[in-house]
Amino acid sequence: MRVAVVGGGIIGLAIGRELLLHGVDVTVYDPSPEGTDGAWHVAAGMLAPGGESAFEFPYLEPLLEASNELWPTYAERLGNVGYDDAGTLSVALTADDLAEARREWAHQKLTVLTGSQARDLEPALSPRVRAGAFAATERQVDPRKVVAALRRELAGRIVHRHVSDLSGIEGRVVVAAGCGTAALTGLPIRPVKGQVLRLRGEPGLLKHVIDGAADGRHVYLVPRADGEIVVGATQEERSDRAITAGGVHDLLRAALDLVPGLAEHEITEWTVGHRPGTPDNAPIIGALDDRVIVAAGHHRNGVLLAPITARLVAGLVLTGSADPLLEAFSPGRFGCA
């Protein structure tokens, strides 16, 4: 069987690899030689099934949880992709931050820690941090390493081409082009801009992912083993690529309020990416017609959802029938299938 995958971001590549493992003759189309146009290139790589998304969209939870369970084995098979299961420490600086965080922590059934208990876990936290909660099942990977590993497995099968019209491609097609999916399919997928900074300093300042609020400013700090710390992210209903003074200020202000020691770190990168959002901010995964399958709109969770999306789309391609897990995510819910 031959299948074309349009889009060589983390979702398209994960699907391509899964199909290849099942003996399918796969070609992945993406215009960028390194594929760095995708949201994955700026993404922090938090695997946080209990985070904000599950809180806002409860029907996403089973899909997020199912993919989270796949990640340990998935990462092991891909090799060194920066997989780290140290967990996430959520923190709140002020009484207002704590009042807001409590709702989410209660939803996740996390125990609330005092400021000093949080600092026992993460000594670099500011003495002003008022409270925290520890999510032991949250993990992280480095999306750039994941994509590099997937590209290696698909070597010789990636064609550098922007697909502007699906009629130019023969046979079965999986459209996994992130924000580019809207132009190809007419599906309601919009770009949600995120500005991200990367800092570098001595490794070991932070032991966990920190997800925090400081005076109403939200920030996450994702420490890599080599001393890099990803600081993210703004969430803006915009499609431009501007790095703004306000965006950078808010991220750094919150980061330094929570972890003052970051002041000595070097800023090594500032980047912008666009999360592919849908009207209900849940992904669209399913058949558009007999020939075309779509897997897009993963918004804030595309890294986390890559393994389960790949598995379910491969099942759909190979058997022609959709797993019950996909019911809530069909293109039909927007009147498009």
The residues binding ligand FAD (CB under 6 A) are 6-12, 29-32, 35, 37-40, 42-46, 162-163, 176-178, 180, 184, 194, 196, 232-233, 273-276, 296, 298-304
Q: 332: how many CB neighbours lie within 10 A of its CB?
A: 13
Q: Is 94 helix (H, G, I), strand (E, B) or coil?
A: coil
Strand partners, 88: 135, 209
Residue 152: is it exposed, middle or buried by C-beta count within 10 angstroms (0-12/13-18/19+)? exposed
Residue among 189 and 322 whose Cβ is closer to ligand FAD: 189
Report how far residue 305's alpha carbon sits from residue 67's, in angstroms, rounded to the nearest whole number: 6
Structure tokens at 243: 């790095």
115/276 with CB nearer ligand FAD:
276
Q: Residue 4 Cβ, how far from ligand FAD at the closest point, in Å?
A: 10
- Which is nearer to ligand FAD, 129 or 197 (by Cβ)? 197
Nearer to ligand FAD, 131 or 189 (CB): 189
Taking the least distance from each CB to ligand FAD, the nearer of 111 and 155 is 155
Smallest gap from Cβ 49 to ligand FAD, in A, equals 10
Nearest residue to ligand FAD, by Cβ distance, number only:
9
Minimum CB separation of residue 6 from ligand FAD in Å reads 5
Q: Which amino acid is at 301?
A: N
- How many CB atoms are closer than 10 A to CB 202? 9
CB of 116 to ligand FAD, least distance (A): 28
Q: What are phi and psi of 39, to 5 degrees?
A: -60, -30
What burial class does residue 23 get, using C-beta atoms within 10 Å of its C-beta: 0-12 exposed, 13-18 middle, 19+ buried?
A: exposed
Least CB distance from residue 136 to ligand FAD, whole Å? Answer: 18
